[in-house]
Amino acid sequence: MATPTRIPLARAASSARRRYLVTESTRSFTATFVAVVLLAAFLSPMLRVTMTALKTDEQLTEPGAPLWPATPRTLTYEGEEYEVYEVPTETGVRELALFKKGRQESQFIDPANPDAEPITWQGSWRTLDRGWELAPAWSNFSRVWRLIDYPRLMFNTVALAVLSSIGVLSSCILVAYGFARFRIPGKGFLFTLLIATIFLPGAVTLIPTYTIFVKLGWVGTWLPLIVPTFFANAYDVFLLRQFFLTIPREMDEAAMMDGASPLRTLTSVILPQSWPAIIAVTIFHFVYAWNDFFGPLIYLSTRQDLIPISLGLARFSGIHDTEPTLIAAGTVLTLIIPVVIFIFTQRFLLQGVVLTGTGVEK
């Protein structure tokens, strides 16, 4: 008597499971579709710049040119070049070379069989679309490399980014370690005061800072861009402090029982477990220093041999404003190193950013 009851229940459970799987599949598909659309919208400017960098100036001014880098297709016939057009015929649209132009009818040659008789087509050839073939203009990058003195600009940019990143890490790690582990009178107030500097506009300190560097004779050198990084900043101190708070204090106490000093505890216990946060801070500052334009514009405008690539590319764009393909090629060259760094470190970057929000001081 129990079997007839179990069968409907099993069928109901199976039906409910199928509905659940369909619902979950729909949600997963919707989430993936939305993510792909947002990613495509975010990357579309970069894709457009890359496509522009691979085009020729003639393609940019040619009506009806495709979005991808291409050159008009031609056919060499009996020592002369003829333009290829997309011609509608009875068998479909075919790419034919315009042999003889006419108002009402024109003659075309089939590139696949140029020895055959010319094909007569009724209509105005001016209404036809040109035929295009893929032809990336890689020479744009070599021209930019020579015109902009790219190796020198790249060396200056990498040097500034690396040296300032060393300053940020060495100073911010020590300050964050102090706020995360030491019991200092007024520590809460000092930390609040540090975070409050985030709201201080850069324009307020610009003139006093510039005046100090002028008095020191540092204008025209890298020192104004490097030395301040050795005095920490609120953003990175907060990021590192929050991550240090996620590390159990018992590990510090165990190290101190073994005779480790606070500095030894930092280097042997805290830092080995903080690589996600350290990598995140390094990437944030490296990209900031790589893209910094205002600082070099103020302090290095009189030294062409010391300017980074951001300032060099801006000046190059002003000189070659009538050649957008070269400007786009220079932009793509500038993006290569930050993009490669992000691709290889994104896992640590995301982990460091996520875990910093879980730190609670005890």
Q: In this predicted structure, what is the pLDDT of residue 2?
A: 47
Q: In this predicted structure, what is the pLDDT of residue 169?
A: 94
Helix axes 324-355, 3-53, angle to 10 degrees: 140
- The model carries a pTM of 0.76
**pLDDT for 154-182, tens place per residue?**
999 999 999 999 999 999 999 999 999 88
Domain formed by 148-358, architecture: Orthogonal Bundle (1.10)
Our measurement of the distance from residue 273's CA atom to the centroid of its chain's CA atoms, rounded to an integer in Å, reads 28
Surface-to-core class of residue 21, CB atoms within 10 Å of its CB (0-12 exposed, 13-18 middle, 19+ buried): exposed
> Across the chain, what does the average pLDDT equal?
85
Which of these ranges, 8-17, 152-161, 196-205, has the smallest mean pLDDT? 8-17
pLDDT tier at 257 (50, 70, 90 boundaries)? Answer: confident
pLDDT at 228 over 60: yes
Q: In this predicted structure, what is the pLDDT of residue 93?
A: 87
pLDDT at 80 over 90: no
Q: In this predicted structure, what is the pLDDT of residue 349?
A: 67
Q: Which of 167, 161, 359 is nearest to 270 (CA)?
A: 359
Instruction: State whether the Cα torsion 118-121-123-128 is positive or negative.
Output: negative
pLDDT at 5 over 80: no
Tokens of 51: 């496509």
Whether the CB-CB separation of 274 and 355 falls below 8 Å is answered with no
User: How far is Cα 55 from Cα 327, in angstroms, rounded to an integer?
Assistant: 12
pLDDT tier at 57 (50, 70, 90 boundaries)? Answer: confident
Mean of pLDDT values over 86-111 = 87
User: How far is Cα 237 from Cα 228, in angstroms, rounded to an integer?
Assistant: 14
Q: In this predicted structure, what is the pLDDT of residue 356?
A: 57
CA separation, residue 239 to residues 246, 348, 351 (Å)? 12, 14, 12
Which has the higher per-residue pLDDT, 129 or 41? 129
Whether the CB-CB separation of 147 and 326 falls below 8 Å is answered with yes
- The residue extents of the domains of the chain are 1-53, 74-130, 148-358
pLDDT at 21 over 80: no
User: How far is Cα 281 from Cα 269, in angstroms, rounded to an integer?
Assistant: 19
pLDDT at 348 over 90: no
